[in-house]
Structure 1
Amino acid sequence: MGTPKFSLPTLQKLYESDHKVQLVVTQPDRPKGRGRESTPSPVKQFALEKKIPILQPKKCTSLEVVKTLGELNSDVFIVVAFGQILDKNLLTLPRHFCINLHSSLLPKYRGAAPINWAIINGETKTGVTTMKMDTGLDTGDILLSSKVSISDDDDAQSLHETLAHKGSSLVLETLRQLDSGLLEPICQNSDLASYAPKLKKEDGLIQWNQPAIKIHNLVRGLTPWPGAFSFLESKRFKVCKTEIKSCGSIDQPGVIVRISGHGIEVGTKNERIVITELQPEGKKRMDVKSFLAGHNLIVGKKFT
């Protein structure tokens, strides 16, 4: 059970393994692009290529869906970024249980956007966890986990790809240990839990009076979506890539203090943020050199 690109490496490894993939359950096709054409999920596209049976319920908890899944007599359900909540009727269908792959080291960062919030909060490590699903929000017993370092160059997209592949291996190892009787589920310590709520577009508004590191981490954590952004002369710009530059003085927050082909230097609460890639509204992402070729930007103007 899965929908976006994050689910694909796990499905691919399951398909190539000795395990039998009986059915792929994924979200209904959604309109996408400028033409708003109905588009299948990445998981559905893979299943079609490999001729795996597909189910696309609008509501996976409907009696008809529960009946269909129950008739499979599956050993386990593997759930990776499916996008719908499973209730008790579904969770009790497999012979063993439902296994969920979550992109954090539980109990930290329960919720919808763990990859983004780990970067926004300046974490230097995160990971993936397989858990035995229950009816709570990422509260099930931990089966296995695997750590990953977050580099200074990572953004949400690069970390997403790393964790998707790391997670696919963890799912296969979880199944191997389940088959061998080696799994020892561990109850989560809720006192150590933190949460990663779903992101909204307005979360990306840059507050230039914050420390440079917080702004830098916000940009990294929100790339590519929803994107950190700011306004310059009432025009909206996505800030896609930044660096931090130490300097001897403190500049006025949001004010452009230096412009070069490498980047636009902007004042913050302490150090400078150097914008090296950005995206004007309605345009593609570009480096600063390309941006300056078509925009007359001067020192002293202020981002708000």
Structure 2
Amino acid sequence: MNKKLRIVIITMGLSCIVKPLVESQDEVVGIVECAPRNGVKAGLLREFLDFIKNIIKWHMNLKGYAKQKRIPYMLLDKNNHNNVSEMIKGLNPDLIVVFSMSQLLRENIFSIPRLGTINLHPSLLPAYRGPDPTIWQYADLMLHPGVTVHYIDEGEDTGDVLAQSVCEISLGEPLERYNQILQSHGVVLLRNVIAQLRAGKAKGKKQSRESSTPRSRLLKQGESRCFIQWKLWSVKRIWHILHGLNTHYDFLVPPKFTALGMSWRIGDWEECKENHIPEDIYIENGKRYIACKDGRIRLYMRFSLRKLLRNLRKLF
């Protein structure tokens, strides 16, 4: 039962699970990349901007990585589930491993492997089911989030749990560091589960159909501007969200020249009696602040290349 497993990976981009699985003792026989939500064919300018972004990040995309490793690759979109199903059947995998998908996997795919299909989810299920647990865990001031490896079934993150790991983050943890912490825990957890599956010792535990939290849905376009409840939430809670996520969401009224890449940088916070209306941005003694109900947060202006590229992408 300890023989090498044949694994198919389904993910988006060159995610944290790809290289560890390809370099493991098992054999990755196929890679399926899930197309982004509402994906559209890129125009020449958008392709150029993506090319520049990849140079800045200095990494290879998933398709190029699969080609380099001589692993069969296929893109999964909402119209070609049957084609992907046939491809995977031909690869005869023992296991499918999923992380970061933009859509629910259909039964004609997740039922193919003899050992089933497992998913790495960035929360402690059944809490924070859904496609975007991160922003909702920040909003709830969750400083002990976690990761879950579970079987995929017909529901959304409802399959039997194989393993979980609790993580610890700091107040205001930047999203990049937050992801690193959860992903490092997740990769270790995933390796352990695969070893148990290889040895025939893995046992899933049914999870409650009810969750203690609402579905972790994606924010709609423009919704981030009204996401923070300024009149209800404490300055500590708001600072945690802003310091962690502000470079990825437009929570605040944008500064001048935002189209040219100017954005807010979040400074320190303090509890104090605040005479300004919550969410008001004001200047005092030459310093810029945003008011909260029980304190204030220091703001700075800075140039952000990420912001500039994102604004250019919106135009094309």
TM-score normalised by L of structure 1: 0.80
Give, in whole Å, the separation in 1 of the partners of 2:275 and 2:159: 48
What code does the residue aligned with 2:24 have? S
Picking from 7, 10, 14, the partner of 2:17 is 10
Q: Partners of 2:33 and 2:216 in 1: how far apart? A: 23
Q: Is the 8 A contact 2:85 2:109 kept in 1?
A: yes
Contact 2:171-2:240 at 8 Å conserved across structures: no
**In 2, are the aligned partners of 1:31 and 1:37 still within 8 Å (CA)?**
no
Q: Indicate whether 1:128 and 2:124 are aligned.
A: no
- Displacement of 1:58 in angstroms is 2.6
* Whole-Å separation in 2 of the counterparts to 1:33 and 1:223: 28
Equivalent pairs: percent with the same residue? 25
1:245 aligns with 2:265: no
Amino acid at match of 2:222: E
Q: Which moved more, 1:67-76 or 1:150-159?
A: 150-159
CA distance in 1, matches of 2:44, 2:176: 23
Q: Residue type matched to 1:196 in 2?
A: S
Match in the other structure for 2:199: 180
Deviates more, 1:36-45 or 1:111-120: 36-45
Opposite residue 241 of structure 1, the aligned amino acid is I
Q: Which moved more, 1:102-111 or 1:56-65?
A: 56-65
Q: CA deviation at 1:163?
A: 1.6
Partner residue, 1:204: 224
- 1: CA distance, partners of 2:93 / 2:64: 23
Q: What secondary structure sits across from 1:274 in the alignment?
A: strand
Deviation per CA, 1:237-289: give whole Å up to 9, x if none.
75442431123x322121425255xx62232211111224656899669xxxx
For residue 169 of structure 1, give the secondary structure of its aligned residue in structure 2: helix
Tell me the CA shift for residue 49 of structure 1. Answer: 2.9
Q: 1:234 to 1:54 in 2, by over 3 A?
A: closer
Match of 1:26 in 2: 33
Give, in whole Å, the separation in 1 of the partners of 2:45 and 2:285.
38
**Contact 2:29/2:71 (8 A) holds in 1:** yes
Q: Post-superposition shift, 1:152?
A: 1.3
Partner in structure 1 of residue 56 of structure 2: none
1:289 match: none
Assess if the C-alpha contact under 8 Å between 2:150 and 2:161 holds in 1. Answer: yes
How many angstroms does 1:155 deviate by?
Answer: 2.5
Aligned to 2:55: none
**Per-residue deviation at 1:191?**
3.2
Change (3 A) 1:26 1:270: same
Summarize deviations over 1:201-245 as a string: whole Å, max 9, x none.
433225543432232233145343233221568979754424311
Residues 156, 32 of structure 1: CA spacing in aligned structure 2 closer, same or farther, 3 A cutoff? farther
Give the stretch that moved more between structures: 85-94 or 201-210: 201-210
| Equivalent residue number for residue 215 of structure 1 | 238
Unaligned runs of 5+ in 2: 1-9, 52-59, 310-316
Please give the secondary structure, in 2, of the residue aligned with 1:47.
helix
Q: Distance in 2 between matches of 1:163 and 1:214?
A: 20
Contact 1:141 1:188 in 2 (8 A): yes
Moved more, 169-178 or 52-61: 52-61
Taking the TM superposition and a 5 Å limit, the aligned residue runs for 1:53-132 are 53-59=72-78, 62-132=81-151
Decide whether aligned partners of structure 1 residues 149 and 184 sit closer, same or farther in structure 2, where only a CA change above 3 A counts.
same
| 1:48–1:30 CA distance, 2 compared to 1 (3 A) | farther
Structure 1 residues without counterparts, runs of 5 or longer: 286-304
For 1:53-105, what per-residue CA distance to the aligned partner results, in whole angstroms no more than 9, with x for missing partners?
21113337632221221122111000111323211111210011001010111
1:71 aligned counterpart, secondary structure:
helix
Determine the structure 2 residue equivalent to 1:35: 45
1:294 maps to which residue?
Answer: none
Aligned-partner residue type, residue 216 of structure 1: W
- Name the structure 2 match of 1:45: 64
Query: Any conservation in 2 of the 1:70–1:93 contact (CA below 8 Å)?
Result: yes
CA RMSD of aligned residues (A): 3.1
Kindly report which structure 2 residues correspond to 1:145-164, keeping only aligned pairs within 5 A, or say none: 145-164=164-183
Alignment equivalent of 1:167, drawn from 171, 182, 186: 186
